[in-house]
A = this chain, B = another copy of it.
Amino acid sequence: MTKPIAVIGAGNGGTAIAAFLASKGASVNLCDLFPQYVEGIQKDGGITLTIEGKTTRETLTYVGTDVAKTIKDVKLIMVVTPSFTHKMIAEACSSLLEDGQIVVLNPGRTGGAVEFLATIRKLGCKKDIIVAEAQTLIYSCRKTGPSSVEVYGVKKEVDLGAFPASKTGEVLAEINPYYPQFKPAANCLQTSLSNIGALFHPSPVLLNIGRIETDRNGFKYYIEGISPSVAKLVKSIDKERMAVAAAYGVRVLSAEEWLKTSYDTHGEDLYELLQNNQAYADIKAPGTIQARYVTEDVPMSLVPISELGRIAGIATPAIDAVITLTSTIYERDFRKEGRSLANMGLEGMTKEQVARYFETGTK
């Protein structure tokens, strides 16, 4: 009998993954640090899952807020939460983790795996743990009620990198029986630096922040929000991200390449590719500035790209300016609370040391 699987996070993605794993015969423990996310499932005694046109009811082994019960005796721990909670989850897990466990962040954004590891190590956890990060969430899905979830789309391929990179095969051996879509990334630098949200989220909010606060009609996020000038800044940020990746010898897709690969769109440049992408046509701008597009993607995406750039001697002036202005406007120190070198456990390292660390796990 295979070991049970833990899922931490009972939002849209976590509920869908837990139910899907159960549908495949796994014994699943699901927890969330915030009780309101699991109460509906507890009351109902299960999850109603709709995927690929079929609706089934799935029963889990444990549902609650107790991390200890959730991860005890499991091999695979799927973390499916906003990336700004990864550190908090690492803190909650650090004294409970067992030798040989695998933590997969769905997704890690940028620097998720190393931040998770640095956090548990700082708290004294010496267990033999692999932390991996998916490049993106495998599902497009939405909770349709307190105990029901609908999956609208399943990605055909999702890159997964393990920390250290040498352990990626071991992680895939555990996860591929359920999700053959996960494919090996070169390492966690590649998954981290392929973070497209870093491009499409913070700067368009910043450059439309007056409108978000005063245009009561709202506006279309990509079609109106990413105007020609906004697209120019997005492109500049993309170039900085790619320069950082190149400095570490990591191949990542440009924003244009990624759009062409992921969607049926066309155009001569980034602006046109975004305008012609039917999948983006109706997406509305957030109705408030307190949106994860900034509060998650600045500290968990732009900050670590800037920090990795700093080690590699790659200037990231546009990224840095967006971090500075959002920190000023949101009255938060996104650099400090986000994935700084200290929080990622990379402080004092050279570029070569960082590259080796991601490969071997040895500083």
* Residue of A209, A210, A219, A317 most packed against chain B (CB within 10 A): A210
Bound CA–CA A227/B213 (angstroms): 6
A254 to chain B, nearest CB (A): 17
Q: Does A318 contact B (CB under 8 A)?
A: yes
Q: Chain A interface residue count: which class?
A: 20 to 34
Bound CA–CA A289/B229 (angstroms): 9
Q: Does A259 contact B (CB under 8 A)?
A: no
A210 and B232 contact, CB distance less than 8 A: no
* A229 interface neighbour in B204, B209, B318, B321, Cβ under 8 Å: B209
A153 to chain B, nearest CB (A): 28
| B residues less than 8 Å from A204 (CB atoms) | 210
Bound CA–CA A325/B325 (angstroms): 10
Q: Which residue of B lies closest to A232 (CB)?
A: B329
A229 and B213 contact, CB distance less than 8 A: yes
Q: Does A206 contact B (CB under 8 A)?
A: yes
A151 to chain B, nearest CB (A): 32
Bound CA–CA A209/B322 (angstroms): 14
| B residues less than 8 Å from A329 (CB atoms) | 229, 232-233
| B residues less than 8 Å from A224 (CB atoms) | 210-211, 214-215
* A232 interface neighbour in B317, B321, B331, Cβ under 8 Å: B331
| B residues less than 8 Å from A111 (CB atoms) | none
* A215 interface neighbour in B215, B230, B320, B325, Cβ under 8 Å: B215
Q: Does A95 contact B (CB under 8 A)?
A: no
A321-B325, A324-B317, A329-B232 given; A227·B209 CB < 8 A: yes
Bound CA–CA A236/B208 (angstroms): 19
Q: Which residue of B lies closest to A224 (CB)?
A: B214
* A210 interface neighbour in B207, B213, B214, B322, Cβ under 8 Å: B207
* Residue of A214, A224, A320 most packed against chain B (CB within 10 A): A214
Bound CA–CA A209/B230 (angstroms): 7
Bound CA–CA A13/B36 (angstroms): 64
Name A173-231 residues within 8 Å CB distance of B.
204, 206-215, 219, 223-230
Q: Does A140 contact B (CB under 8 A)?
A: no
| B residues less than 8 Å from A223 (CB atoms) | 214
| B residues less than 8 Å from A325 (CB atoms) | 233, 318, 321-322, 325
Q: Does A328 contact B (CB under 8 A)?
A: yes
Question: Hey, which bits of chain A sit against chain B, CB under 8 A?
Answer: 204, 206-215, 219, 223-230, 232-233, 236, 289, 317-318, 320-322, 324-325, 328-329, 331
- 10 interchain pairs (CB within 8 A)? A204-B210, A206-B207, A207-B210, A209-B230, A210-B229, A213-B230, A215-B224, A233-B325, A233-B328, A321-B328
